Amino acid sequence: MTGKVPWKYWLLAGFLIVPVLLLWHWRRSLFPHAREAASRKASSGDMFSKTSPMLINSASSSSGTALAASPAVARTAGPESPPHPTAAPAAPAGDNQGQSPALAAAAKDVHLLPAAPGGRYAPGTAGQDVPPLPAAPGGVVAPSISSSPAAAAAGNIQEPAYLPKIARDPTLSPGDIQEMERRRLMEKLAASKGFVKKKVSKRVKPREPRIEDRIVLMAIIETPTSTRAIVNDRVVREGDQVLGVRISHIRSDRVVFRYKNKNFVKRVPRP
């Protein structure tokens, strides 16, 4: 019994070995992908801090020469060059030994390429006015280059005109417009009411006729015993009142009336 291992221990060992094998296989399949991604990142490097590999001349670098033979590289890495060079400077004889004739011709073509639109001849010269080219050999005058793109575009750009279809302020909301309309109507109504009041107040009140005009003496009746008068279709005698007017005296041809301590006389109309 001591030399034999029970089957239970073999079963337990099998259960432990299977997860270990699966983990080992998973790590083995994962690490190659991580190494490949790290190698790609290291090979790409920082694209903004290093010179682009497309601008590197393998022939000139193998011979120990600098990248000054290529004008494109000189403009990219070196200090600012003149705005528009007229001719390519002659390189030393030792520098051209490692270059092929095709590469030298390509360098000359790149150096003599016309400037890009907008006056961008070198870093730091964009947007500046470029002087015209000098006369070429043989009496041919080089074409002049226009000024900066901002000045060229200024003549083509037109000022936009704001022509609204409505006269109201676009910053006002519909609620503000309704409130302004309501206030305008209230002011108009108040002005019309004030005008009516002023017009009514200026109206002339009808004047009442004078008391002298309201008293009409129609006739005088004389008898042996008394004398009476007919006033406003009434037969009156001295001391009576008509419309608040007291009859003071009755004579044969006139009647004396008294109203508010004032006397006035009415005569009998002639036939």
- In this prediction, residue 215 carries a pLDDT of 86
Residue 248 covered by a domain: yes
Higher pLDDT, 26 or 5: 26
Amino acid at 35: R
Number of domains making up the chain: 1
Residue 235 covered by a domain: yes
Tokens coding 111: 């150096």
Residue 225 covered by a domain: yes
Higher pLDDT, 256 or 85: 256
Position 54 pLDDT exceeds 60: no
Position 70 pLDDT exceeds 50: no
| pLDDT tens digits for range 260-269 | 888 888 888 7
Position 88 pLDDT exceeds 50: no
Q: Other C-beta atoms within 10 Å of 255: how many? A: 23
Report d(CA 33, CA 57) in Å as an integer: 33
Q: What is the domain range of residue 256?
A: 211-267
Nearest to 147 by CA among 76, 83, 80, 81: 83
Residue 193 covered by a domain: no
* DSSP designation for 270: P
| pLDDT tens digits for range 217-245 | 888 888 888 888 888 888 888 888 888 88
Given CA atoms 205, 211, 217, 218 in this order, what sign does their dihedral have? Answer: positive
Higher pLDDT, 91 or 193: 193
Residue 182: pLDDT band by 50, 70, 90 thresholds? Answer: very high
Higher pLDDT, 171 or 154: 171
- In this prediction, residue 112 carries a pLDDT of 47
Using the CB atoms, write b or e for 197-234: b if 16+ within 10 Å: eeeeeeeeeeeeeebeeebebeebeeeeeebbbbbeee
Residue 250 covered by a domain: yes
Q: Model pTM?
A: 0.27
Residue 155 covered by a domain: no
Cα 1 to Cα 4, 6, 13, 271, distances in angstroms? 6, 9, 19, 181
Residue 45 covered by a domain: no
Q: Give me the half-sphere count of Cα atoms (radius 13 Å) on the Cβ side of residue 160.
A: 2
Residue 50 covered by a domain: no
